[in-house]
Amino acid sequence: MTAGAGATLADLQRFLADHQMQVPLRSPWPDATLGGIVAANQNSPGRMRYGSIRDLLLCATVAMADGRVIRAGRPVVKNVAGYDLPKLFVGSFGTLGLLTDLTFKLAPLPRERRTLCVPLAHRDQGIRLSRQVLALASAASGILLADGVEIAGLAEAPHSLLYSAEGLAEDVAAELEQVGNRLRREGAPLVVEVETAADAIWSGFLGEAPQDQMLARTGVATKSIGDYMQALSPSVNQQSRVLIDCASGLIYVKTSSPDRESAKRWLDGLRQAALRLAATPCCWLRRKRRSILSMFGASTPIPSN
């Protein structure tokens, strides 16, 4: 499917839904454009089911700074013979060229989508349980560990582990039965099926940020998630809400920082913990971007999406 980079993801999904298809991308923001999602490399928890943006992007047309317009890749599965240039522009934040149109792989809409939830008192237990079920993932479309999320029908818990699966009804049912049994054997206090999918929790966490909140993302190896959380200082842990994509090692942290100095200390704490593990600290700054950039002497704005 080829679409202009300025088209919104919501509009494209509505069009494809009429044909029982989808482009397997998600965004917390309804006005997010395809070009913005690609330029920011904004992968959702569904990456574990459908692949990353780099896997889904087949070709791209790009306007370069010198006025040239190049087309990289081809709209077929075996789309390159040599350098796979479309992947180069994923996560480039517009620094290499302006994306004008994009071609993606499509996937059929899933016939079934179901989610298991485990309310937990301690984050460490959720990290341990997520490792146990990760090996069972086949139809899984998200494994998240989130702080303080509200889920219909459940009392709010300090932490919640969510396991979503989608696809054919038989595949989803078989996988969730296996996952539920494994969670209970490993000591999960309660395993219940809920209506809220993992990608909805992810969208809510990232999208519902008040004006004074800062949001950061860090990428670590999945086996190092527990080490990273322990490496964070107690002050950073206490003043932050955390959402962990257990399948990809992406850790989203947000906080309300009333002043510049406390915000800088918070970001430094996240960065230092990541660097000690050779991880990848990356700030997502949808709100108050300019004030945060000025803390570190940056002069080039970062795209919203």
Q: What is the DSSP string of 39-66?
A: HTT---TTHHHH--HHHHEEEEEEE-TT
Q: Average pLDDT for residues 133-162, to the nearest whole number?
A: 91
d(CA 32, CA 13): 12
For residue 162, what are the CA distances in angstroms to 117, 214, 269? 5, 24, 27
Tokens standing for residue 119: 């309310």
- In three-state secondary structure terms, 143 is strand
Tokens standing for residue 232: 């964070």
CB contact at 8 A, 246 and 144:
yes
d(CA 202, CA 129): 19
**Strand blocks (E) in 42-158:** 57-63, 69-73, 98-104, 107-108, 112-120, 140-147
pTM for the predicted model, two decimal places: 0.88
In this prediction, residue 299 carries a pLDDT of 37
Exposed (0-12), middle (13-18) or buried (19+): which is 41, by Cβ within 10 Å?
A: middle
Exposed (0-12), middle (13-18) or buried (19+): which is 297, by Cβ within 10 Å?
A: exposed
Cβ-Cβ contacts under 8 Å for 255 (sequence gap 6 or more): 213, 214, 239, 240, 241, 266
**Between residues 167 and 263, the one the model is more confident about:** 167
Average pLDDT value for the chain? 87
Q: Could you read off the pLDDT of 114-140 as tens digits, one per residue?
A: 999 999 999 999 999 999 999 999 999
Q: Average pLDDT for residues 203-219, to the nearest whole number?
A: 82
Of 112, 284, 113, which Cα lies nearest the Cα of 200? 113
In this prediction, residue 126 carries a pLDDT of 96
For residue 207, what are the CA distances in angstroms to 199, 213, 237, 247, 294? 12, 11, 21, 21, 23
Exposed (0-12), middle (13-18) or buried (19+): which is 228, by Cβ within 10 Å?
A: buried
Domains assigned to the chain: 2-108 (3.30.465.10), 112-202 (3.30.70.2190), 209-295 (3.30.70.2740)
Q: What percent of the chain has pLDDT over 70?
A: 89
Q: What percent of the chain has pLDDT over 90?
A: 65
CB contact at 8 A, 179 and 116:
yes
Confidence check: pLDDT of 46 > 50: yes
Lowest mean pLDDT, pick from 106-120, 135-149, 186-200, 210-224: 210-224
Confidence check: pLDDT of 156 > 90: no
Tokens standing for residue 240: 């932050």
- In three-state secondary structure terms, 22 is strand
**Between residues 142 and 272, the one the model is more confident about:** 142
Q: Average pLDDT for residues 267-285, to the nearest whole number?
A: 76
**Between residues 237 and 166, the one the model is more confident about:** 166
- Under the banding of pLDDT at 50, 70 and 90, the label for residue 210 is low
Confidence check: pLDDT of 280 > 60: yes
